């Protein structure tokens, strides 16, 4: 689809919202590689669709799964895919940016308060209006900005706050209403495929609650494999009818080979399986946010990161404080939620 003719630009001063029309073209500049940070952009796209239903959205991302994340959003026309490790693929990186630069957007949104790359690219790309947060060391590069102080803390909520305060021109109290919920918008066909995959794992007519576990996480967020085994034993002692399965990395390597396991390179297939299971327990990770973007009860385990920034956001999903020495407390909390 060819880019729309840009709207005539009225005069404006930084911090004052100019008119953008009912159907602006918007580029979300989030050149991040992580799945979790990409899924955390879905509340912003949902807010755009709800408040600017004619908007046409492009997304600049370095996450390999970004196209899958936004597949279910009709407003998203294109994901400009930067290479995962741009320094290793400089030509691809530059060619992608050159393609983005050829389009003059009505609005470029830089939704991250701390990304130097996003701000640099926002300054370089072409738009009638560039919007971002003001930080002491990042004052240049946008036309309209607001202080990050006062924004909701959760990473899924403050991009929505930025849109409401600038593009929608809402007052602070209204803009701060934190109703951001993650979403991957699975189709009915994808949900049916997820139910079929679960049935293949557990057999036809399986009964009792199903709890999917994912043991992998990065660095200090990870729990030892024996911790997961202990938590699983205690959970089954509380809920003998429950069935446990393992969500494995795309390569299929099992941490808990005694459990039925599922792996896929397609994140939407993984999301559909998690939703079919109905309950998902994992450490704070991109996979946690993927689970929280479905209708499954996602229990995120936190021991080093801050739940107010990263807690799973949808339905009954929640953050649970966890310790290496006490898997029983997590098992008890999951049992309570399932009861």
Dihedral angle computed from the Cα positions of residues 269, 270, 275 and 277, in that order, rounded to the nearest 10 degrees: 120
Q: Quick one: pLDDT band at residue 139, thresholds 50, 70, 90?
A: low
Q: Quick one: pLDDT band at residue 14, thresholds 50, 70, 90?
A: very low
In angstroms, rounded to a whole number, what is the distance separating the alpha carbons of residues 76 and 264? Answer: 24
Helix axis angle, 188-202 relative to 267-277, nearest 10°?
70
Average pLDDT over residues 72-83: 97
Q: Does residue 276 carry a pLDDT above 90?
A: yes
Q: Could you confirm whether domain 188-338 is CATH 3.40.50.2000?
A: yes
DSSP 186-254: --HHHHHHHHHHHHHHH-TT--S-EEEEE----GGG---HHHHHHHHHHHHHH-TT-EEEEE--TT---
Q: Quick one: pLDDT band at residue 6, thresholds 50, 70, 90?
A: very low
Q: Quick one: pLDDT band at residue 339, thresholds 50, 70, 90?
A: confident
In angstroms, rounded to a whole number, what is the distance separating the alpha carbons of residues 107 and 26? Answer: 5
Q: Which residues have CB under 8 Å from 200's CB, separation 6+?
A: none
Mean pLDDT, the chain, whole residue set: 92
Cα 207 to the center of its chain, rounded Å: 31
Q: What is the pTM of this model?
A: 0.91
Q: Does residue 9 carry a pLDDT above 50?
A: no
Q: Which residue has the tokens 């239903």?
A: 53
Structure token digits, residue 149 = 């102080």
Lowest mean pLDDT among 39-53, 132-146, 258-272, 287-301: 132-146
Q: Does residue 250 carry a pLDDT above 70?
A: yes
pLDDT in tens, 170-210: 999 999 999 999 999 999 999 999 999 999 999 988 889 99
Q: Where are the domains of the chain?
A: 25-175, 188-338
Q: Quick one: pLDDT band at residue 26, thresholds 50, 70, 90?
A: very high
Residue 145: which H helix or E strand, with range?
Answer: strand 144-147
pLDDT value, residue 88? 84
Average pLDDT over residues 221-232: 97
In angstroms, rounded to a whole number, what is the distance separating the alpha carbons of residues 62 and 65? Answer: 9
Assess whether the region 25-175 and the region 188-338 belong to the same CATH fold.
yes
In angstroms, rounded to a whole number, what is the distance separating the alpha carbons of residues 38 and 242? Answer: 32
Chain length of the chain: 339
pLDDT in tens, 303-318: 999 999 999 999 999 9
Q: Quick one: pLDDT band at residue 136, thresholds 50, 70, 90?
A: low
Q: Quick one: pLDDT band at residue 16, thresholds 50, 70, 90?
A: very low
pLDDT value, residue 260? 97
In angstroms, rounded to a whole number, what is the distance separating the alpha carbons of residues 232 and 243? Answer: 10
Lowest mean pLDDT among 121-125, 131-135, 257-261: 131-135
Measured CA distances, 145 to 128, 142, 231, 271 (Å): 14, 7, 46, 35
Give CATH for domain 25-175.
3.40.50.2000
Structure token digits, residue 140 = 């240049």
């Amino acid at each position: 689809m060819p880019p729309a003719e840009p709207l005539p630009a009225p005069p404006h001063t930084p911090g004052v919202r100019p008119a953008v029309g009912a159907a602006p073209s918007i580029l979300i500049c989030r050149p991040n590689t992580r799945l979790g940070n990409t899924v955390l952009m879905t509340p912003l796209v949902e807010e755009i669709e709800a408040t600017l239903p004619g908007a046409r959205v492009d997304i600049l991302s370095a996450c390999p799964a970004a196209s899958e994340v936004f597949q279910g959003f009709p407003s998203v026309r294109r994901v400009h895919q930067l290479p995962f490790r741009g320094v290793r693929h400089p030509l691809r990186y530059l060619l992608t940016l050159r393609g983005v630069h050829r389009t003059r957007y009505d609005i470029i949104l830089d939704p991250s308060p701390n990304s130097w790359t996003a701000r640099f690219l926002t300054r370089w790309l072409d738009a009638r209006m560039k919007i971002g947060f003001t930080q002491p060391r990042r004052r240049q590069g946008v036309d309209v900005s607001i202080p990050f102080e006062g924004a909701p803390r959760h990473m899924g909520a403050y991009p929505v706050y930025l849109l409401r305060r600038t593009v929608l021109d809402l007052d602070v109290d209204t803009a701060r209403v934190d109703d951001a919920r993650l979403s991957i918008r699975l189709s009915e066909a994808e949900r049916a495929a997820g139910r079929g995959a679960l049935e293949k794992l557990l057999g036809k007519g399986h009964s009792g609650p199903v709890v999917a576990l994912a043991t992998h996480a990065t660095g200090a967020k990870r729990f030892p494999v024996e911790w997961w085994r202990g938590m699983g034993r205690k959970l089954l002692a509380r809920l003998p009818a429950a069935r446990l399965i393992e969500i494995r990395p795309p390569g299929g390597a099992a941490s808990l080979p005694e459990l039925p396991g599922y792996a896929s390179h397609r994140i939407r297939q993984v999301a559909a399986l998690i939703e079919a299971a109905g309950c998902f327990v994992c450490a704070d990770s991109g996979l946690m946010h993927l689970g929280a973007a479905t209708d499954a009860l996602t229990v995120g385990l936190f021991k080093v990161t801050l739940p107010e920034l990263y807690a799973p956001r949808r339905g009954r999903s929640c953050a649970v404080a966890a310790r290496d020495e006490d898997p029983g407390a997590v098992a008890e909390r999951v049992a309570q939620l399932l009861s």
